[in-house]
Structure 1
Amino acid sequence: MTNQNNSARNLAVDILEKIDEGSFSNIQLNQDIKSSSLIDIDKNLLTEIVYGVLQHRLTLDFYLADYIRKPEMTPRWVINLLRTAVFQMEFLDRVPDFAIFNESIEIAKLRGNDGIRKMVTGVLRSYQRNGKPSFDSIKNPVEKLSTQYSVAPWIVDQMLYELGEEKCISILKSINQPSHLAVRINRWNKTHADIIKDLEYEYTVTTSAIAKDGLRLSRGASISDTRSYIDGDLTVQDESAMLVAETMHLEKGQKVLDACAAPGGKTTQIAAMIGETGEVTGWDIYQKRVQLIQDNAQRMHLDNVKTEVQDAITSREDLDESFDRILVDAPCSGIGLMRRKPEIRYLKSKKDSSDLHQLQLKILDNIAKMLKVGGALTYSTCTILRKENQETIEKFLAIHPEFEQLKVETAKKIKQNRDELSLNIYPDDFESDGFFIANLKKVK
């Protein structure tokens, strides 16, 4: 029998507990995997269980509702243990039920008392005998989609209103698929061909369909342990996020501000594109996050990156008309990241989105004066909600007649037939994160 203290399933319950208490799934999972003694096959199982339970949490709770008599009085770790068991039974065909039962019951015995062990045993046996309920029992269409795809009802309602039923369901299906591992080549260091050749020893490598410097890698060894990563030849970045710097019309020697920069993925991309004669300044409000920008720039051998602890809503008269290009990768609800950071779908509220819209306007209003006449400001978010995207840009332009909007163009010319000047990338478009990009030129 596996030592339950060190098993993938027991560790999954621990991690889900920490996420319930406020930890970020990707950070917590990586930390616990690094400190564990799990072999690779168990690391993969752990990852599948944690992300799977987060992705399907509302669905799993619907499945379990008839089998847990008093969920409000049941310890949270027991709920998470039952979620992990039912997730494996419903979504991991290769795992036999007896293995799920045996280990779940052993974990219940290890972590709890005999009463909890009996309760877990009874729930799992009843579930195996009677099966899951039908979604057809849910009559409200928003609640039904929310439960079926495990996304907060307000997000489903907003997506139906803004995008229509067909697109909404397509997005909901896509965010419950595994995310891709994507990396961006550091053009400052080596050629694309050399880096791809290095990576092919450990991964299956595919060139990104949307990002000029992007690659998709098969899941394998930790990318941060590879020579290419350590030497600064590449960085982990979603393909949609790579598009932002591509659209900024960057040129060698320009002076650029990245106003909301941490952890520095876009900052380092800008630095590589403007060359040694250019300079990019990266801001964040916390020293710890500014250090992340510095660490990334140092690892990638980019010495044209300058950093400051600075709040983007704080006035800086000394910087009026100082920059050729400005990027505002604004604080947002992160709804476009629901595939990669599945807990987001439960943590954010409609009020959060509205409050962030106001913060975004404050940042843009403050930053606008720092751009030179003739310069361009790029606004981006990792959300797909109109309030934080188009509405923010429309309101900014209404009070800043010195700016006009330009059409966003990417190197690989994606979504060329769209009517909008801005660019919306939805999670189902290219199996990447949801993103919004708008370009504004200061004309007077």
Structure 2
Amino acid sequence: MMSNKIKHTPRYLAVQLLEKVSQQGSYSNLSLNQTIQKEQLSKPDSNLLTNLVYGVIQHRLTLEYWLTGFVKNPKKMAPWVKELLLSAIYQMEYLDKIPNRAIFNESIEIAKVKGHVGTRKFVTGVLHAIERQGLADLSQISDPLKRLSIQSSTPVWLVQELTKQVGAKKAQSILATINQAPVQAIRINQKLTTKAALEAALPDFQLEASPVTPLALRAQGGFIPATQAFQTGEVFVQDESAMLAVESMQVQADDQVLDACAAPGGKTTQIAMSLTTGRVTALDIHAHKVKLIEANAKRAQVQDQVHALQLDARKVQDKFPAASFDKILVDAPCSGIGLLRRKPEIKYTKKLQDSENLAKIQKDILDRVAPTLKPGGVLTYSTCTILNQENQGVIDAFLKDHPDFEQVKTQTQNQLKADRDELGLTIYPDDYLSDGFFIATLRKK
């Protein structure tokens, strides 16, 4: 009976999810949401599960470094046993309210249920050895690059690249914040509700204004997608930084707008909010994602302003004549290095080469959509990465090939970084504790 009961506990579910993320490359945030809904976990249990899954993934390199002091060959362990030990070390080191006794008892019980007597003995031995000897002092790692990599649990290549691009001090500041819990931000559907009405509709949540944009609220105290306000389209879960791309476009009521890489449609619905007689054409290469855009537009009650279409953004000219659009948004496919708080597994799967390959695709999309913009129109380019190769680097390459375009300074309602010298706007994860993001604004002469 106990073995059945334990299979629905946050610690057991965390081990399963962590194995799925590390072995199958599942997205932690999607897997988590599915599990919380399927298991119908209580609020404290879903909080613990979320904390364990994000915590272990965020601190993986640190936890693995500590574990190697107690296990001769971690690679020989079954993946779930490794995740079980990493989650136990995470709880011992980072969750000060949980006594070791509780961590040990449940970890050993999970080992017994998922494995055999030998596994249980092995896990018991490792945990007691850690308790006796303590964990290695990270400040004693002599190589400064390796030390920062292990302390922040960030691969060496990314530490090097950030240091090169933004300097050692800013790189350290960014890396010091990426392992914090992500802020849950919501965008108010101004067609359907107001901030005051939302506060009444979401009494269990602490809502506070965002420093990034007037459209956003930071919501603490639960899982927004489970609320009535989410179901009826009054709110969208969207990071504050991601709202800035559309905000900076200054969409007019009668604009014809192209959202070139639109799924799942968060930015499409945001564009549609400003339209009355205008229309946004939203593209995605996959049929099921086009359906997702349509579903989101319907939920937001802006389906009349949205035309979703299955089309590769690089084939826009096959379908639309030159000068079809007043505004174009290219929210380009990117490495996602700005999302480390929300999708921490990204930092372990990406390489510098990925960024360089993506830059070619990003530039190609810009090249192909550019002719469909009207003279005097605005092309907005955005990514959720903070690496220059995919950001200003792409814009510089595009402008070199398109003298009929000029870059103008990206403006936001809250006048973020208004005194900067750069024309593009880069939001780093440590600036406002939102996602890392880049926006460039290009005008066709």
TM-score normalised by the chain length of structure 2: 0.97
3-state SS in 1 of match to 2:25: coil
Match of 2:264 in 1: 263
3-state SS in 2 of match to 1:401: coil
Q: CA deviation at 1:34?
A: 1.0
Deviations 1:415-443 (A, max 9, x none): 11110010000000000000000000000
Deviations 1:341-396 (A, max 9, x none): 10011011111000000000110000101101110000000000000001000000
Match of 1:287 in 2: 287
Alpha carbons of structure 1 residues 291 and 315: separation in structure 2 relative to 1, 3 Å = closer
Q: Is residue 2:232 matched to residue 1:237?
A: no
Q: Is residue 2:195 matched to residue 1:212?
A: no
3-state SS in 1 of match to 2:128: helix
Match of 1:379 in 2: 381
- C-alpha distance in 2, partners of 1:365/1:262? 20
Match of 1:299 in 2: 299
Q: Is residue 2:64 matched to residue 1:61?
A: yes
Task: Report the identity percentage.
Answer: 49
Match of 1:76 in 2: 79
- C-alpha distance in 1, partners of 2:161/2:216? 31
2:33 to 21, 24, 30: 30
Match of 1:190 in 2: 193
Alpha carbons of structure 1 residues 63 and 331: separation in structure 2 relative to 1, 3 Å = same
Q: Structure 1 residues 137-146 or 164-173, which shifts more? A: 137-146
- C-alpha distance in 1, partners of 2:163/2:176? 14
Amino acid across the alignment from 2:174: I
- C-alpha distance in 2, partners of 1:195/1:136? 47
1:402 to 401, 404, 410: 404
- C-alpha distance in 1, partners of 2:353/2:135? 34
Match of 2:317 in 1: 316
- C-alpha distance in 1, partners of 2:166/2:437? 15
Match of 1:100 in 2: 103
- C-alpha distance in 2, partners of 1:276/1:350? 43
Q: Is residue 2:148 matched to residue 1:136?
A: no
- C-alpha distance in 1, partners of 2:192/2:122? 58
- C-alpha distance in 2, partners of 1:50/1:227? 26
- C-alpha distance in 1, partners of 2:167/2:221? 34
Amino acid across the alignment from 1:227: Q
Contact 1:6 1:37 in 2 (8 A): no
- Count, aligned residues: 440
Q: CA deviation at 1:39?
A: 2.1
Q: Is residue 2:16 matched to residue 1:14?
A: yes
- C-alpha distance in 2, partners of 1:225/1:52? 23
Q: Structure 1 residues 211-220 or 234-243, which shifts more? A: 211-220
Q: Structure 1 residues 3-12 or 263-272, which shifts more? A: 3-12
Q: CA deviation at 1:231?
A: 1.7
Alpha carbons of structure 1 residues 380 and 7: separation in structure 2 relative to 1, 3 Å = same
3-state SS in 2 of match to 1:6: coil
Match of 1:51 in 2: 54
Match of 2:173 in 1: 170
Contact 2:337 2:346 in 1 (8 A): yes
Amino acid across the alignment from 2:392: Q
3-state SS in 2 of match to 1:88: helix
Q: Structure 1 residues 30-39 or 432-441, which shifts more? A: 30-39
Match of 1:442 in 2: 444
Amino acid across the alignment from 1:370: T
Q: Structure 1 residues 388-397 or 223-232, which shifts more? A: 223-232
- Long gaps (5+) in structure 2: none
3-state SS in 2 of match to 1:205: strand
Q: Structure 1 residues 394-403 or 227-236, which shifts more? A: 227-236
3-state SS in 1 of match to 2:403: coil
- C-alpha distance in 1, partners of 2:369/2:50? 40
Contact 2:204 2:221 in 1 (8 A): no
Alpha carbons of structure 1 residues 189 and 296: separation in structure 2 relative to 1, 3 Å = same
Map 1:123-162 → 2, pairs under 5 A: 123-162=126-165
- C-alpha distance in 2, partners of 1:243/1:385? 18
How large is the RMSD of aligned CA atoms in angstroms?
1.2
- C-alpha distance in 2, partners of 1:422/1:42? 42
Q: CA deviation at 1:318?
A: 4.2
Alpha carbons of structure 1 residues 92 and 9: separation in structure 2 relative to 1, 3 Å = same
Q: CA deviation at 1:136?
A: 3.3
1:369 to 358, 367, 371: 371
Contact 1:330 1:379 in 2 (8 A): yes
Amino acid across the alignment from 1:27: L
Q: CA deviation at 1:315?
A: 4.7
Q: CA deviation at 1:227?
A: 2.2
Map 1:340-355 → 2, pairs under 5 A: 340-355=342-357
- C-alpha distance in 1, partners of 2:160/2:226? 42
Q: Structure 1 residues 186-195 or 432-441, which shifts more? A: 186-195
Amino acid across the alignment from 1:98: R
Tell me which stretches of 4 or more aligned residues in structure 1 moved more than 3 Å: none
- C-alpha distance in 2, partners of 1:136/1:190? 51
TM-score normalised by the chain length of structure 1: 0.97
Deviations 1:53-111 (A, max 9, x none): 00000000011111012212111110000000000000000111000000000101111
Contact 2:210 2:216 in 1 (8 A): yes
Q: CA deviation at 1:317?
A: 4.1
- C-alpha distance in 2, partners of 1:359/1:138? 39
Alpha carbons of structure 1 residues 390 and 145: separation in structure 2 relative to 1, 3 Å = same
- Long gaps (5+) in structure 1: none
Alpha carbons of structure 1 residues 295 and 248: separation in structure 2 relative to 1, 3 Å = same
Q: Is residue 2:91 matched to residue 1:111?
A: no
- C-alpha distance in 2, partners of 1:227/1:101? 39
Q: Is residue 2:221 matched to residue 1:223?
A: no
